[in-house]
């Protein structure tokens, strides 16, 4: 434990009047963007991927040049409804092809040559002020461990995969008795531990109670990402005061036999987010909730000898919600005949997307969080 490890659950959120919610979905492993947003009329694409390209007749057509992977039928429906935005060619200068390093860069919003120890969402928490007897739960990650993105300098969110198990553990009689202990102690560590335990049990009680208020009538898919999105949906529709949710969906490191593996992972993503959006729509929350989907990097343009793809650079981001100001294909994919050692050249810095979300959606000054000004995009 670290100081104020659990204070992310006991915060007075940044002083704004927005009721907007951000759901961040991380595609871990480096999703192959070219087989996700497919340039189905590009000869270079097919020559570079003779065994693993998506045939034009199978691509879900978005416009005269681009289509979605055939496993993404819900995404296509959202696109047709004007609820899906696609930003292509997203990356950063001097790209790093290491999973761990590139994910650190995305999660901290640092430059490639900088090493930051706090996450961009964690720095939002750092700006919040403690509030007596509050249960604002500003940021929650649905996982066993907390991602760097949600770790601030003085405050951190909590990662919890199963709210019922979390509540059961926090309800242990021994812990409950300790949590009621009050007063200052000579040992600062003892004071901190008592305070931390008190906050943990209070947060567990609050989340458990909130999760029982609403039960979706929709059938979410019985997958890891489906179960997590169902939990997020329940918390949102129960009126929980969380403003940022974070969830990961892995399995995208497709160095070999990519076709079946990526189709399965994208299909699970598509079903989970499609059901989640419908849940928001049924409860008239679709205009309040924005889903942001990203991966730490894309894959190389050419396939490898194992019918897969190796680590690349620029990729596509997806934004889903009823509050989009500019839906559809935001820009074309980078040129396939202008590569950087076999990789796509990025065209949009991912921090531009962060700045747009912070300023225009969460109404938080992006410069204070990103330590620099970035040109905003027009999707929201």
CATH number assigned to the domain comprising residue 296 = 3.40.720
CA 125/CA 119 separation, integer angstroms = 10
Structure tokens at 32: 């192959």
Angle, helices 258-282 vs 73-80, to 10°: value is 50
pLDDT tens by residue, 96-151: 999 999 999 999 999 999 999 999 999 999 987 655 444 547 899 999 899 999 99
Structure tokens at 78: 């959202």
| Structural domain includes residue 1 | no
CA 326/CA 249 separation, integer angstroms = 26
Quickly tell me which residue has 């300023």 as its tokens.
359
What's the pLDDT at 52? 98
| Structural domain includes residue 188 | yes
CA 29/CA 316 separation, integer angstroms = 14
Structure tokens at 27: 């595609």
> Is the Cβ–Cβ distance between 91 and 340 less than 8 Å?
no
Residue 262 backbone class (left: φ over 0; alpha: ψ -120 to 50; beta: rest):
alpha
Residues 6+ apart with CB under 8 A from 302: 48, 49, 309, 342
| Structural domain includes residue 379 | no
Report residues of the chain scoring pLDDT below 70.
1-18, 129-136, 165-206, 208
Structure tokens at 49: 């991927």
Return the beta strands (E) in the chain as ranges: 11-12, 21-27, 37-39, 60-61, 66-68, 84-91, 129-130, 139-141, 158-159, 244-249, 289-295, 315-320, 328-329, 339-340, 343-344, 348-349
Helix, strand, coil percentages in the chain from 3-state DSSP, rounded to 5:
35, 15, 50
Residues 6+ apart with CB under 8 A from 145: 159
Question: Could you tell me the residue range of the domain that residue 209 belongs to?
Answer: 7-370
| Structural domain includes residue 288 | yes
CA 255/CA 113 separation, integer angstroms = 27
CA 293/CA 348 separation, integer angstroms = 15
| Structural domain includes residue 378 | no
> Is the Cβ–Cβ distance between 261 and 269 less than 8 Å?
no
| Structural domain includes residue 72 | yes
| Structural domain includes residue 375 | no
> Is the Cβ–Cβ distance between 333 and 66 less than 8 Å?
yes
What's the pLDDT at 133? 45
> Is the Cβ–Cβ distance between 161 and 167 less than 8 Å?
no
Q: Whole-prediction pTM value?
A: 0.90
Quickly tell me which residue has 């943990």 as its tokens.
200
| Structural domain includes residue 233 | yes
Number of domains in the chain: 1
pLDDT tens by residue, 36-60: 999 999 999 999 999 999 999 999 9
């Amino acid at each position: 434990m670290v100081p104020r490890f659990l204070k992310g659950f006991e915060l007075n959120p940044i002083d704004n009047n927005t009721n907007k919610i951000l759901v961040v979905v991380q595609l871990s492993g480096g999703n192959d963007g070219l087989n996700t947003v497919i340039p189905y009329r590009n000869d270079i694409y097919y020559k570079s991927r003779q065994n693993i390209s998506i045939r034009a007749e199978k691509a879900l057509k978005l416009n005269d040049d681009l289509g979605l992977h055939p496993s993404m039928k819900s995404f296509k429906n959202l696109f047709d409804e004007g609820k899906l935005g696609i930003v292509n060619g997203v990356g950063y200068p001097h790209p790093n092809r290491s999973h761990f390093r590139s994910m650190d860069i995305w999660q901290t919003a640092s430059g490639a040559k900088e090493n930051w120890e706090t996450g961009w969402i964690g720095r939002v928490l750092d700006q919040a002020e403690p509030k007596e007897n509050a249960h604002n739960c500003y940021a929650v990650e649905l996982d066993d461990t907390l991602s760097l993105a949600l770790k601030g300098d003085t405050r951190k969110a909590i990662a919890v995969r199963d709210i019922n198990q979390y509540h059961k553990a926090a309800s242990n009689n021994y812990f409950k008795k300790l949590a009621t202990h009050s007063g200052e102690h000579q040992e600062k560590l003892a004071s901190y531990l008592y305070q931390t335990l008190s906050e943990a049990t209070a947060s567990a009680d609050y989340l458990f109670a909130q999760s029982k208020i609403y039960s979706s009538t929709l059938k979410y898919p019985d997958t890891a990402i489906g179960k997590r999105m169902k939990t997020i949906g329940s918390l949102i529709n129960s009126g929980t005061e969380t403003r940022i949710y974070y969830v990961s969906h892995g399995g995208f490191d497709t160095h070999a036999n990519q076709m079946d593996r990526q189709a399965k992972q994208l299909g699970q993503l598509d079903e989970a987010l499609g059901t989640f959006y419908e849940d928001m729509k049924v409860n008239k929350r679709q205009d309040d909730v924005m889903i942001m989907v990203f991966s730490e990097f894309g894959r190389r343009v050419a396939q490898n000898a194992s019918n897969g793809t190796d680590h690349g650079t620029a990729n596509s981001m997806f934004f889903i919600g009823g509050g989009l100001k500019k839906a559809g294909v935001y820009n074309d994919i980078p040129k396939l005949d202008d590569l950087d050692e076999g990789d796509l050249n990025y065209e949009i810095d991912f921090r531009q997307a962060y700045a747009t979300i912070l300023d225009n959606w969460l109404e938080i000054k992006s410069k204070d969080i990103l330590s620099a000004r970035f040109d905003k995009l027009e999707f929201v």
